[in-house]
Amino acid sequence: MKGTRVVVTGLGVISPLGNTVEETWQNALAGKSGIECLDGIKDIDDNPRVGGTVKNFDAVARFGAREARRLDKASQFGMQAAEQALIDSGLQITEENMYDVGCVIGTCVGGIESMVDATIDFEQRGQRGVSPLAIPRILVDSPSGRVSMANNLRGPNFAIVSACATGNNCIGEAADMIRLGRAKAMLSGSSEATLIPMVLAGFDNMKALAHYEGGDPTTISRPFDLNRSGFVGGEGAAVLMLEDLDYALARGARIYAEIVGYGHTSDAYHITAPREDGVSASEAMKRALKDADLKPEQIDYVNAHGTSTQLNDKSETTAIKLALGEHAYNIPLSSTKSMTGHMLGAAGAIEALFSILAIRDNMIPPTINLDTPDPDCDLDYTPNVSRKHTVNHAMSNSFGFGGHNTVLVVSRYDGAKA
């Protein structure tokens, strides 16, 4: 979509790698993993579950005991990341601009932990056992609504659900809202909190989760490695402040990058499995490039979806080759899910954030645990060690159950660009 230029002026994150942007980014560059054994959660064979967990986050200290009870973890994480992004942007919300600033904060499954808890309460105690806070905690739009309320954002406010592509769709749609003139600034991103027994059991029964039978849990997520066995779940949130370029310049905002391309397609194939030929995912990349008015050879880095499942990593490799041609072999890629785990609905947002920081610092985060290359995955996935590399244009891929393929292209801000 052509029109107003959209830039990123603020970043916020809470993740398995840290509770601030710089802590998360530096740990990613260092190749550290946020994956650990989950206390008290085991699989059917009595093996511990593992996941990428948010650490040292005290919801009571952050929100107060009364408010913390009103919020599912997904809302808590989303509000924390959004507050960081708003503060980082330096944008002050006033009576003059409050209807020009909105938010699109998505999540894949909303307050799933609160839903499970409410179901148990109902089964055990009947209607009287269900808290009046249950429904507000459960709703998928609660993170976005709560961010709007907490910051007096009276512009557009909604949530998007597209499974593991949610974060990219939220950012892309927020950018389009600004391009259409429906807002001057938008907090956009996604949040997820699903590391609970029921969700993990469901993914395990689908044969999607990585197998863990002891040893070092940080080595289990291994995208593009021959010995990968499935994804590892993660939790957290990431939020970007997007602004109309003229609006940002008028207030002297610092600009991290520009959102230049947005493409999305559907596999129309299978509810969970990707198309093995990669055709539809490739088309999403091509459409994002067309939207950005860039040629394949101008892309300097791809943050891959890279889930560590057999099918995804092969099909994504095929799709990248179809979209970028021979240039696919000339540039670094990486899957930061090797360190964060798969944050589901929040994955696209944190990976867009990583792509922006790759541009800022000209650094490529690694794909850790890539020790035995898969012959079918034959691109440069930046194995194990981060790398200095000039990045002017980065592509971030997100693909979700239901066949969602969503791609963002972010670029270094060029003030001279027409």
φ, ψ of residue 377 in degrees (nearest 5): -120, 85
Residue-averaged pLDDT of the chain: 96
pLDDT in tens, 367-391: 999 999 999 999 999 999 999 999 9
| pLDDT reported for residue 417 | 64
Mean pLDDT, residues 329-341 taken together: 98
Is residue 389 flagged as an active site residue?
no
pLDDT in tens, 136-183: 999 999 999 999 999 999 999 999 999 999 999 999 999 999 999 999
**Residue from 255, 270, 242 nearest 179 by CA:** 242
- Give me the CATH topology for the region 261-411: Peroxisomal Thiolase; Chain A, domain 1 (3.40.47)
Question: What is the band of 213 on the pLDDT scale with cuts at 50, 70, 90?
Answer: confident
Domain boundaries along the sequence of the chain: 7-250, 261-411
Asked whether 224 and 310 are in contact (CB, 8 A), the reply is no
Contacts of residue 403, defined as CB under 8 A and 6 or more positions apart, other chains included, come to 266, 267, 268, 269, 270, 271, 274, 275, 280
pLDDT in tens, 279-308: 999 999 999 999 999 999 999 999 999 999
Is residue 164 flagged as an active site residue?
yes
How many other CB atoms are there within 10 angstroms of residue 164's CB atom? 27
| pLDDT reported for residue 353 | 98
| pLDDT reported for residue 2 | 61
- Give me the CATH topology for the region 7-250: Peroxisomal Thiolase; Chain A, domain 1 (3.40.47)
The separation between the first and the last C-alpha atoms of the chain, rounded to the nearest angstrom, is 15
| pLDDT reported for residue 415 | 81
| pLDDT reported for residue 211 | 85
| pLDDT reported for residue 321 | 98
> Which of 108, 170, 264, 305 does the annotation list as catalytic?
305
Mean pLDDT, residues 236-241 taken together: 98
> Which of 170, 264, 342, 393 does the annotation list as catalytic?
342
| pLDDT reported for residue 237 | 98
Inter-helix orientation angle 21-29/347-361, to 10°: 80
- Fold match flag (7-250 vs 261-411): yes
pLDDT in tens, 52-99: 999 999 999 999 999 999 999 999 999 999 999 999 999 999 999 999
> Which of 103, 108, 164, 377 does the annotation list as catalytic?
164
Angular region, 214: left φ>0, alpha ψ -120 to 50, beta rest: left
Question: What is the band of 108 on the pLDDT scale with cuts at 50, 70, 90?
Answer: very high
Residue 416 has pLDDT above 90, yes or no: no
